[in-house]
C-alpha cells in the first residue's frame, strides 16, 4: 500500500473510533426476523427495515425457488440487450398498479433509482430544491445531475415557497424540481405533501417523492402519496423493494412518457444487469400480499404504537415520529454507541445511528418494530430499555 494511503486510512479511522463515529458491523447468523442470532446470542431485533416481516415469508421463499428453477439465477444481460424477461415486464405492470400510475420501471436498488432518475431528467441548466434531511442517495443523485442544488429547511413550507419563488423568478433555470422523502427514516415524520403540491402548482415545480420508508407502511400499504390521495399530482414516485417489500431493488413510478424516457436515458437501467427472476417473483408475491390485505400493515402500526407508548412512558426522547419508526434520541455519540452496546448485551439489537447519518449531537438508536414482533417480545425489550436507560443515566 502507498504510504500516503496508509497514513490517510490509519489516522482517519483512529479519529472516527475516538469520536464514537466508527460503525461496527455485526453479521447475522440466520434470517433477519424479529429475533436474530449474533455471535451465538438470540437478540430481539429492533434494527431491521423488514417492516412487514416479508423477508422471511414462507410463501415468498417458494415463489423465489420456483422462478429460479424456471429462469436460472441471473437475467444474463442488461435490460436493453436480451436481459428483459417476461417476468420483469409483469413486475413493472404490477408496480404501476400498486402505485396508481400509468407505468413503472425497476432498478437494482433504491439508491440506483435516485442516481438514475434525477440525473436522467435534471442537468446543469436546472435547479433542484431539496429538503435538508433527504436521504444520502438523493443527495448523490442531485450531485450527479449537475443541477444547482438549493437546500430547503426541513419540512419548512415557508422556506420552500420563498426559495421556489426566487428560483423561478431568477430566470436562470430551465426546470426546477422539488425532492423530498415521503417518510424521513431517522425521525419517522411524514412529508407535508398536500402543501408541497400546492406550492409546486404555484411555481410549476417538478415533484419527486422518495417513499422508501412509506411504501408498505403508509396509505394502507400503498405509500405516502396514496395516503394523501395525490397519485395524479406527484411526477416521480420512488420506492425500494428491500424494506417493507422484503426483497431487493427499487422502482420509479409515473407517467408512461416518464418511464419511456428513463428506459433510454437512465444509466443504471442501460448498463447494469436486471434483477434475478427469483427476486422478481418474491417481489410480486409481496406486492400481492400488501394489495390483497391490510393485515400486515395494521400489525406494524399496532406494534409501532405500542413500543412508542412504552418508551415514552419510561421517559425516553422519541422525537416527532408519525410512523412506526421510533428513534430513541440519546445525543452524544459515544454515549449512543455505549447505549446500543449495552442493549445488545442484555438482549436487544437496536443499532446506534450517529453522524454523518444524523447531525452531530443527535445520536440515537433507531427502533423499528415489525409486523412479525409479538407483544411479549416488545415487553421484554421495554424492560431491557428501562434497565439500560437508568444504568447509563439516559432516563431517571
Under 8 Å between Cβ of 210 and 223: no
Return the HEC string of 90-158: HHHHHHHHHHCCCEEEEECCHHHHHHHHHHHHCCCCCEEEEECCCCHHHHHHHHHHCCEEEEECCCCHH
Residues β-bridged to residue 378: none
Dig out the grid coordinates for 387 from the structure.
434497565
Classify residue 320 as left (phi > 0), alpha (psi -120 to 50) or beta.
alpha
Asked if residues 78 and 263 have their Cβ atoms less than 8 Å apart, the reply is no
Residue in 8, 53, 40, 41 with CA at minimum distance from that of residue 370? 53
Q: How many CB atoms lie within 10 A of CB 340?
A: 26
Name every residue whose Cβ is closer than 8 Å to that of residue 256 and which is 6 or more positions away in sequence. 102, 103
**Catalytic hit among 119, 185, 215, 266:** 185
Cβ–Cβ < 8 Å for 167, 118:
no
From the number of C-beta atoms within 10 Å of its C-beta (0-12, 13-18, 19+), residue 28 rates as middle
- Other Cβ atoms less than 10 A from the Cβ of 96: the count is 20
Do 197 and 207 touch, CB atoms closer than 8 A? yes
Residues 213, 226, 351, 362: which is the catalytic one?
Answer: 213
Residue closest to 275 by CA, chosen among 6, 88, 45 = 88
Q: How far apart are CA 358 and CA 361, in angstroms?
A: 8
Question: What residues contact 85, with CB distance under 8 A and at least 6 apart?
Answer: 71, 75, 274, 277, 280
The residue annotated as part of the active site, out of 243, 289, 351, 362, is 243
Nearest to 182, CA basis, from 320, 323, 319, 302: 323
Active site residue 154: no
Rounded CA-CA distance 139/111 in Å is 10
Catalytic residues: 185, 213, 243
Amino acid at each position: 500500500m502507498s504510504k500516503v494511503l496508509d497514513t490517510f486510512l490509519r489516522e482517519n479511522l483512529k479519529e472516527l473510533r475516538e469520536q464514537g463515529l466508527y460503525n461496527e458491523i455485526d453479521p447475522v447468523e440466520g434470517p433477519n426476523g424479529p429475533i436474530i442470532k449474533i455471535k451465538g446470542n438470540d437478540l430481539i431485533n429492533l434494527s431491521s427495515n423488514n417492516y412487514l416481516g416479508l423477508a422471511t415469508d414462507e410463501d415468498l421463499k417458494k415463489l423465489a425457488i420456483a422462478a429460479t428453477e424456471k429462469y436460472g439465477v441471473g437475467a444474463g444481460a442488461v435490460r436493453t440487450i436480451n436481459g428483459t424477461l417476461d417476468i420483469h415486464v409483469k413486475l413493472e405492470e404490477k408496480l404501476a398498479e400498486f402505485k396508481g400510475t400509468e407505468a413503472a420501471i425497476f432498478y437494482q436498488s433504491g439508491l440506483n433509482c435516485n442516481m438514475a432518475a434525477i440525473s436522467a431528467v435534471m442537468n446543469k441548466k436546472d435547479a433542484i430544491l431539496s429538503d435538508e434531511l433527504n436521504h444520502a442517495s438523493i443527495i448523490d443523485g442531485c450531485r450527479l445531475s449537475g443541477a444547482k442544488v438549493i437546500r430547503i429547511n426541513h419540512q419548512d413550507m415557508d422556506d420552500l415557497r420563498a426559495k421556489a419563488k426566487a428560483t423561478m423568478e431568477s430566470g436562470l433555470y430551465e426546470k426546477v424540481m422539488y425532492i423530498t422523502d415521503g417518510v424521513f427514516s431517522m425521525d419517522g415524520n411524514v412529508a407535508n405533501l398536500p402543501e408541497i403540491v400546492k406550492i409546486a402548482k404555484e411555481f410549476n415545480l417538478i415533484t419527486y417523492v422518495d417513499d422508501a420508508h412509506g411504501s408498505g407502511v403508509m396509505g394502507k400499504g400503498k405509500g405516502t402519496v396514496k395516503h394523501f390521495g395525490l397519485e395524479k399530482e406527484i411526477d416521480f414516485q420512488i420506492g425500494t423493494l428491500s424494506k417493507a417489500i422484503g426483497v431487493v431493488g427499487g422502482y420509479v413510478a409515473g407517467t408512461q412518457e416518464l418511464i419511456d424516457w428513463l428506459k433510454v436515458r437512465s444509466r443504471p437501467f442501460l448498463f447494469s444487469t436486471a434483477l434475478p427472476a427469483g427476486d422478481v417473483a418474491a417481489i410480486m408475491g409481496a406486492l400481492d400480499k400488501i394489495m390483497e390485505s391490510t393485515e400486515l400493515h395494521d400489525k406494524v402500526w399496532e406494534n409501532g404504537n405500542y413500543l412508542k407508548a412504552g418508551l415514552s412512558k419510561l421517559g425516553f426522547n422519541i422525537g416527532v415520529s408519525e410512523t412506526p419508526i421510533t428513534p430513541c434520541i440519546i445525543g452524544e455519540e459515544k454515549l449512543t454507541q455505549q447505549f446500543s452496546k449495552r442493549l445488545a448485551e442484555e438482549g436487544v439489537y437496536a443499532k446506534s445511528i450517529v453522524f454523518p447519518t444524523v447531525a452531530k449531537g443527535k445520536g440515537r438508536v433507531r427502533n423499528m418494530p415489525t409486523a412479525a414482533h409479538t407483544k411479549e417480545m416488545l415487553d421484554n425489550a421495554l424492560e431491557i430499555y428501562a434497565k439500560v436507560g437508568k444504568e447509563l443515566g439516559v432516563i431517571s
